[in-house]
């Protein structure tokens, strides 16, 4: 009888594989998804707390504006946080399980908010 010992949950393993796939891609830091889809996603899922545009204010003071996230974290490093499901963003933040396509779309949108050269 063969037993399997695992120190990772299936979700953690999937997030690790996703992160590995993201970081091993040679164009990873320069190629993202569809910014229009990313904008639609953040407007639908994040705008009730976060500012998601260029000039709006966050509805929750502790929820940072998406346009400023690149000042706190390199946009490329946010892929890992999104893949693992951000649970410590701010007290009322729900946990999301995002597909790689949604993550890439969000990163494309956020890269556009950051402006050229960021």
Residue 118: the pLDDT is 54
Whole-number Å distance between alpha carbons of 100 and 19: 9
Domains within the chain, CATH numbers bracketed? 32-114 (1.10.760.10)
Which pLDDT tens digit goes with each residue over 1-49?
A: 444 433 444 444 444 444 444 444 434 445 689 999 999 999 999 999 9
Whole-number Å distance between alpha carbons of 33 and 105: 4
Q: Give the mean pLDDT of 71-80.
A: 82
pTM of the complete model beyond 0.85: no
Could you give the 3-state DSSP secondary structure of residue 47? coil
Residue 18 in contact with residue 98, Cβ under 8 Å? no
Which pLDDT tens digit goes with each residue over 76-97?
A: 788 887 777 665 555 667 777 7
Whole-number Å distance between alpha carbons of 78 and 103: 9
Residue 88: the pLDDT is 53
Q: Return the structure tokens found at 75.
A: 């946009």
């Amino acid at each position: 009888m063969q037993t399997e010992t695992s120190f990772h949950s299936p979700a953690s393993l999937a997030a690790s594989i996703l992160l590995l796939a993201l970081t091993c891609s040679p164009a990873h830091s320069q190629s993202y998804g569809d910014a229009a889809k990313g904008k639609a996603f953040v407007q639908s899922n994040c705008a009730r707390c976060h500012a998601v545009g260029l000039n709006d204010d966050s509805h929750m003071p502790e929820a940072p504006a998406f346009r400023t996230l690149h000042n706190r974290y390199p946009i490329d490093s946010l892929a890992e946080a999104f893949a693992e499901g951000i649970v410590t963003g701010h007290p009322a933040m729900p946990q999301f399980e995002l597909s790689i396509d949604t993550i890439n779309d969000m990163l494309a949108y956020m890269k556009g908010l950051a402006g050229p050269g960021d």
